[in-house]
Structure 1
């Protein structure tokens, strides 16, 4: 295409660094795409908040491309993979601003990020693509849970490139604040159901030293215990060293992590946790991050207890945010039951697509 250039972005040490221009342009593209497609600014993130994730290259190698049309930033592409034994999988993404769509920019970026994935020796490509359209012909997930619009530019592009739909995720949101008396009563009910063998701990910021090993173990289990349907995502191992490195990079982010974890009292080990990420700007929503209860400790309403306890924790420590946003696989009925009981309501569905390639 005449006037289209695609270049790789250097990840700067800070947003004020001399080489940060292209990174900032990519974040602007992301913000424009999400604001236009969703009709809200809920998913818009400032560059200071996005940069720490891009600097986690040791354990989460990733590369970013910037597309310019006649010199104007109009799109970005992402290729991420894992080091070591899990390097056979790559997670790819492409975003193009609304007024530049329909000109082949998305396809050009998709082909380029696939090239990056092949350079990393990946043979399985995974794409998560939000679907904002409701109604019309639908494409059902092979899991039997959920569907996406069958006739959209992103669906047609992914299918033409050889991707197949494997899973649908639901985006849900909970209006804040939750009534304190109702929240306290629900927590008391969940505590009674859990029984005396389980105890909840909360903290914000860095993980307390006594829980680092357990949190690293739980983060590793997140990559294997959560439903992934036909995506067959590999284990993503965490160690205390990786946890400390991750938290050190997040120290510079204008947001706060809030954690509720549950201890199995007889063993003295954490067997579940949930995490919220609250931006400094209290007019913005809070992101629900990982939630897990180890399989061998399920059936005690610990997932419900953890989520309720962390909402209460959030409202004590960082009141004023308008809502919490979370994403769950449509077949993860247990967690959806928990969310729906708390009051989360769906607002978007996201297709998870897979493509297998040969090197």
Structure 2
């Protein structure tokens, strides 16, 4: 056992900030080989500029001035207020000395103090594209009483290798079935005429996507929350590319997709939400939206190489769309949850 203190992260302490980022980078390099690279600029920005609909608490385990590990807890404030989302890591050289157990115990105590009954964490597992991903994190979580609640898969599209001629043919095929819809591409805050429809579909993500045994409850998303998220991304220096499909006759937002490029990320970006309103399904809108936004990435960031996405393994329809535009399986990323 190692003696250590658990202290809050102090963004005004340069030495602590650098040490925490170094540990996060070491954890990523050791545990997540072959997956999306750790971006210290994003971790730094997130520790200073957070969402206004959650409260984030960050701690580090410190021994003789050295940072041994970290634990972040995110607590929703407007919905799912029973939940805490946990991200925890220990430097590979400091493991099996009680650091991870101490950090997790601290998070669980804070959850109890806040009256939170469910703790969730996301843990990678090996896959055909990343066979060297480590499995100790899942074993640690299960040993602490967490249960596998949602099985997900991570895929990536390497933009330099996409068959653009095949994508053109696919575009022509699906566009013919979506003649009653207009595509609206934008960056940042949605245009006024579609912002309420965008908020409605963001809320549906909480109920429409497969959840397995994961206790995620519905959310009320409105234009004010979208504005808050947009302001957060602006302050973090993130590029938020979106395409919405708008039903021409009714003016309703039928679906949308989004890709986020973090500040400091030159080669990797990631897919956010993609959804089509059930009333408008059957027009191949998901495929059309994905192609349009994937190409927008190359327009805005010509050197970008990879777009990453995750889906529940049971979401056959979205997986088929992703693979049709070039995504290939890399690994798993599963949700583990502990309920009190």
Q: TM-score, normalised by structure 1?
A: 0.85
1:47 aligned residue (41, 57, 61): 41
Residue 7 (structure 2) aligns with = 7
Aligned pair 1:184/2:163, yes or no?
no
How many residue pairs get aligned? The number is 336
Structure 1 Cα separation of the partners of residues 247 and 42 of structure 2:
37
How far apart are 1:18 and its partner, in Å? Answer: 3.2
Aligned pair 1:83/2:77, yes or no?
yes
How far apart are 1:52 and its partner, in Å? Answer: 4.2
Residue 245 (structure 2) aligns with = 262
More displaced, 121-130 or 40-49? 40-49
Structure 2 Cα separation of the partners of residues 49 and 5 of structure 1:
22
| Partner-residue secondary structure (3-state), 2:256 | strand
2:93 aligned residue (99, 104, 107): 99
Residue 230 (structure 1) aligns with = 213
2:186 aligned residue (203, 222, 242): 203
Residue 125 (structure 2) aligns with = 131
Structure 2 Cα separation of the partners of residues 167 and 41 of structure 1:
20
1:239 aligned residue (222, 225, 230): 222
| Partner-residue secondary structure (3-state), 1:237 | coil
Residue 303 (structure 1) aligns with = 286
Q: TM-score, normalised by structure 2?
A: 0.90
Structure 2 Cα separation of the partners of residues 39 and 344 of structure 1:
19
| Partner-residue secondary structure (3-state), 1:78 | strand
| Partner-residue secondary structure (3-state), 1:350 | strand
Q: Is the 8 A contact 2:79 2:219 kept in 1?
A: no
2:297 aligned residue (314, 319, 324): 314
Structure 1 Cα separation of the partners of residues 49 and 206 of structure 2:
21
Residue 145 (structure 1) aligns with = none
Describe how 1:152-163 pairs up with structure 2 within 5 A: 152-163=135-146
Uncovered stretches (5+) of structure 1, i.e. residues with no partner? 11-16, 135-147
How far apart are 1:281 and its partner, in Å? Answer: 5.1
Aligned pair 1:273/2:267, yes or no?
no
Uncovered stretches (5+) of structure 2, i.e. residues with no partner? none
Aligned pair 1:353/2:327, yes or no?
no
How far apart are 1:113 and its partner, in Å? Answer: 1.0
Residue 141 (structure 1) aligns with = none
Residue 248 (structure 1) aligns with = 231
| Partner-residue secondary structure (3-state), 2:54 | coil
Q: Is the 8 A contact 2:9 2:17 kept in 1?
A: yes
Residue 30 (structure 2) aligns with = 36
1:27-49 Cα deviation digits (max 9, x unpaired) = 33222211222225733113356
How far apart are 1:232 and its partner, in Å? Answer: 2.5
